[in-house]
Amino acid sequence: MNKLDLTSLGGLNGKHWLTKTMLWLVVACGGLLFGPQALLEALNLNSVVQSQPQLLGLGLIIGAAYFVSRLLNFLLDEAICYLGDRRAVETIEKKVRLLDPAERALLREFFLQGATILTLPKDELAVKSLVATNILECLGNERHYAIQGSTADYKISMKARIYLNRDVLRLPAGEPSQEELQQLIRTRPSFVTGLVQARKPGSQRAA
């Protein structure tokens, strides 16, 4: 059973109570400063407004400044996420135009095997390059083999999928002919066979 992260929970509760406090501060100070005179007199609050106008104004400014800062932080986070996503897409578009044969063959494996997730060697140069350019995402599930080395599960990122069509991966438009099929088999990454053999019963060992 996963342990409850009380530290993060406490932080959320702290922010929640601070937000509620600031909201009540703004409502109270704003109501006293700008509320109808007749209502204030009926509630016997007119004397409070007349004796402490500076304090009420300060409370209103502090509360308003808190919510303005929260809004600015939200807008800044959204801008950073937008720019990050845009930069990632630009990197993918550039990489797709410059795929080398090893990278293209690796990406073809997802289509040839009809798999969303593949187990790939972490230290393979093509794997590292595709991860660095946001085309592949590592999902974890690391395994260590004495001969094959470390592997992990990978999938094609959602941002990259729309760019990886048959033309880019140089796959046949329809059902491949025998010659085309043999060509695809010859160009498969050399580590694919090794990974299949490593996953056979009795062949997996800890590094």
List the domain boundaries for the chain: 6-96, 101-198
Positive/negative CA dihedral, 27, 29, 30, 35 = positive
Q: Which residues pair with 140 in a beta bridge?
A: 153
Q: What percent of the chain has pLDDT over 70?
A: 81
Q: What is the pLDDT of residue 91?
A: 94
Q: What is the Cα–Cα distance from 146 to 196, expressed in whole angstroms?
A: 15
Q: Has this prediction a pTM greater than 0.75?
A: no
Please choose, from the candidates 120, 114, 100, 103, the residue with its C-alpha nearest in 3D space to the C-alpha of residue 194: 120
Query: For residue 148, what are its two tokens?
Result: 């094959």
9: confidence class by pLDDT, cuts 50, 70, 90: very low
Are the beta carbons of 159 and 92 closer than 8 angstroms?
yes
